[in-house]
Chain A
Amino acid sequence: MAYPYTHPKEVRVLSRGWGEPATRTLDGWRALQGYQGLAKALEMGPDAVIETVKSSGLRGRGGAGFPTGLKWSFMPKEKSGAHYLCCNADESEPGTFKDRELMRWTPHQLIEGCLIAAYAIRADHAYIYCRGEFFEANLVLARAVEEAYAAGLAGSDVLGSGVSIDVTVHQGAGAYICGEETALMESLEGRRGLPRIKPPFPAAVGVFGRPTTINNVETLCAIPHIVREGGAWYRQWGTEKSPGTKLFCVSGHVRKPGNYELPMGFPMMDLIRDVCGGMPEGRSLKAVIPGGASVPIMTAEECDGCALHYEGVVERGSMLGCASVIVMDDSTNIVKQVRRMVDFFAHESCGQCTPCREGTSWLSRVLRRIEDGRGTEDDLSTLLSLGDEMTGTTICVLSDSAAAPVISSIQKFKDDYLALIPARDKAGVA
């Protein structure tokens, strides 16, 4: 059962067992067909596993939506040294809280997914880079890893197959940017989390200089089921381009916020009004962010008829990202919330690239001034121009992410800004 609320429309694949303390344990996971996927993978062989994942159409659940099987196929088939798997458990995108739940209720699901993935890409070592603030999830995972080793599921002879896969739970130290895959690798190496330029790509030169694949927690949690049931099974939900189920994190102004596992393509308004129990009493929908703070804000009109899969949200001018749906009702001060998001990006910017380092704090200061009633209409065109210069010009996309809410909110909620601008500072007023 998903946690904390359930809804009949949910399809519980990854979230089966949430809310049941026993699910954490090895026995509890085995009772849910746990580690059958791993056993099957070891029989199939690495390349067959990759083909199965490819055929499922699973796309990376960390926000980029890159086809997972394809990503795995970039790894060298012939080994000339160590390969690594990194599980990106550095969930820090505002509005996202699915990976934490996956780790604290079903840690073995993640471990099994890591083992299967590591087997498929010929990795010797799987690092679970778990965000530093997730002390409880870290400890639960750590305990589960101990259980796995004790049961011969991880370590030098996985299930007697002769394959050796080590698992390490690496606890981070507080940096959103380490959720970016190349910054994650830098951080794992014990350095400042600065994103790397690509090329070279991680499958060629990754962590510690070796071929590496980085996958999100939710992606890896889907793997045991896909391997166990087959790729076609996964396609029973969703669409051709966006198959499978997705954990939707709904937060903000809804009666029942939480994680809901639903088929890809679930209608957004159904999610908000039905599954989440609708808006608070007497409130109407104003805006929705469909995929975490980094994607453009959608108006209520744009949400109407929007299907929550990758192509559906793009069609409406935004992105699905990690499917963190932040709902805002008509009491929301859009400018304040955009300013808060930009503050977040300014705080988390690594500082390498000039447009991001200078731009995020510049945007933040202008927005603060507007929020305080000391803005001008010229400021709005400046913000749009800065946002444009911050998009597509940096090593990683944090800069783009900071610009997205600013640009989209000025374009779609201009009146909210104008309401805060004193009359004398508005264009066209004598």
Chain B
Amino acid sequence: MTSGRAAVPFRNPGWAGNVGEFDLTEDEVRGTSYVGPIPADGGHPGAAPARPYQLFDRHPAAPLFEGPYRERFEKLLSRYPSAQGALIPVLGLAHELRGHVSPETMAEVAALLGIPEAEVRGVASFYTMYNKRPVGRYLVQVCTNISCSLCGGDEVLAGILEETGTELGETSADGLFTVMEVECLAACGFPTAIQINSQYFENVTPADVPALFERLRDEARSRLGASREAAR
């Protein structure tokens, strides 16, 4: 996520509190240079089911599936002995393109895989990470489970709600942020952990919240501004 502009002083993500023994960059902690650009066609078939499906950009009417995404779909099918085995990653792919899983999306996926529609609804509704309705550009997921709760997770959540001006589970008026409470994110050593789209932000305290959201708004401005430029 490092860009050309001056980095906002920010010791998260992945920093070990204030007393950490490491001086790693955000890129190093996240492993982004190791991972490299994320291929739309899924890359190696063994890697195809593991892709970020909560993105800033989404197109609710995106076709299922065309171009490189069709290739990725074929790779997903090839990794499981039954079509139903590919259901979870295929729903993830649809979610990546459209931003959420609507009844229409479920019906299309059902038809693609030859699975009864009711079954697809049952599966999609079981798992927390498929958004059933559109969410903001940033899905802000705050852990309030025990380890984070012991270290002030509730205050962080309250701070974020205030910062974004939303209610829990709702989207902010500017359409940028939907704030949710989630269960343990498995970053308990770095409380409070929050996940925004596909990135973790750790060791978040209420004092960090304004800077964090400033960074997000900055990024949103440049991305949305860029698309407005492109539209002209």
Contacts and interface: CB of A to CB of B under 8 A. Distances in A.
Partners in one complex: yes
Given A94-B183, A170-B79, A173-B91, 13 more contacts: A4-B15, A4-B22, A135-B52, A139-B31, A142-B44, A142-B47, A149-B44, A171-B53, A173-B129, A175-B126, A336-B149, A340-B144, A344-B146
Contact of A146 (B22, B46, B54, B79): B46
Contact of B188 (A96, A154, A176): A96
Contacts of A99: 186
Nearest to A82: B81
B173 interface: no
Contacts of A189: 82, 84-85
Given A191-B123, A193-B126, A257-B191, A95 B146 contact: yes
A200 to B, nearest CB: 18
A283 B42 CA distance: 50
Residue with the highest number of chain A CB atoms closer than 10 Å, among B24, B45, B128, B130: B128
Given A97-B187, A138-B50, A257-B189, A192 B36 contact: no
Interface string A258-270: 1100000000000
B38 A139 contact: yes
Contacts of A169: 46-47, 49-50
Interface stretch (A45-53, A246-254, A412-420): A246-254
Interface stretch (B63-71, B194-202, B224-232): B194-202
A337 interface: yes
B87 interface: yes
Contacts of B47: 142-143, 145-146, 169
A253 B149 CA distance: 11
B187 A19 contact: no
Nearest to B115: A190
A60 B81 CA distance: 28
A396 B31 CA distance: 36
Given A5-B16, A5-B21, A189-B85, A173 B183 contact: no
B147 to A, nearest CB: 4
B132 to A, nearest CB: 12
Contacts of B220: none
Interface in A165-202: 166-176, 187-193
Given A171-B49, A326-B150, A133 B185 contact: yes
Nearest to A338: B146
Contacts of B79: 166, 168, 170
B99 interface: no
Contacts of B7: none
B163 to A, nearest CB: 22
A143 to B, nearest CB: 5
B88 A170 contact: yes
Contact of B92 (A136, A171, A250, A258): A171
Interface in A306-353: 324, 326, 328, 332, 336-337, 340-341, 344, 347-348, 350
A332 B150 contact: yes
B31 A21 contact: yes
Interface in B82-113: 82, 84-89, 91-92
Nearest to B83: A190
Contacts of B80: 190, 208
Interface string A88-116: 00011111110110001000000000000
B28 interface: yes
Contacts of B126: 175, 192-193, 350
Nearest to A405: B146
Interface residues of A, number: 79
B34 A24 contact: yes
Contact of B30 (A82, A136, A167, A336): A136
Tell me whether chain A's interface is mostly helix, strand or loop, or mixed: mixed
Contacts of B147: 94-95, 251-252, 257, 326
Interface string B121-135: 011001111100000
A6 B195 CA distance: 26
Nearest to B87: A190
A170 B51 CA distance: 9
Nearest to B36: A143
The 4 closest A-B pairs by CB, nearest first: A4-B16, A190-B87, A142-B47, A174-B129
Given A82-B81, A143-B35, A189-B84, A344 B16 contact: no
Contacts of A145: 44, 46-47
A131 to B, nearest CB: 7
Contacts of B61: none
Contact of B150 (A135, A173, A252): A252
A390 interface: no
Interface in A47-83: 82
B19 interface: yes
Nearest to B126: A192
A14 B195 CA distance: 26
B130 A173 contact: yes
Given A344-B183, A348-B183, A170 B144 contact: no
B137 to A, nearest CB: 16
A25 interface: yes
B145 interface: yes
B35 A253 contact: no
A256 interface: yes
B188 A21 contact: no
B151 interface: yes
Nearest to B122: A192
A348 B122 CA distance: 15
Contacts of B92: 132, 171, 173
